[in-house]
Structure formats: C-alpha cells, structure tokens
Amino acid sequence: MPTSWSLNGLLSSQFGDVEREIEVFGRQRSISAFVSDYFGYDHNMLPLVAVMLAMYPIVFASIFTYCIAKWNFQKR
C-alpha cells in the first residue's frame, strides 16, 4: 500500500500538470492525460495522497505504542 501511494504521489506531482504532447501507442496525448488514463493517477488527488502517506506511519506508531503499553509478558 505505501509503495502504490508513493508512486501515485511521485508521478502525479511530477507529471500530472505537464501538458506537453507525446506519442503513446500511436496517438498524440498530453503527459497529464496519459498518466491519468494509463495509471489512474490524478493531479487533483495529491492532498489525499499526502494524508495517506502521513497517516500510514502514524497508525503503525499508535498500534506499537498501544501494544507496548498493554501487553505485559512479565506477568506470571
């Protein structure tokens, strides 16, 4: 999951707003249209990507903190 969100953010931020024409599969298309159609990455989704990438380590850190606090393997 984090890899796909990272790639989404990387490709969307770098190529999502580039309107230069390229030839792909025998057709002339803008780079942003190709990224959107082929990969499904939209430049307008960058805020969601940033939130997801920030929340992933926060969730796992919270789970780790909870487990360390509640699980006690020293009980007999």
- Global pTM? 0.74
Q: Identify the band that residue 76 occupies on the pLDDT scale cut at 50, 70 and 90.
A: low
Residue pair 6/53 in contact by the 8 Å Cβ criterion: yes
pLDDT tens sequence across 14-64? 998 889 999 988 999 999 999 999 999 999 999 999 999 999 999 999 999
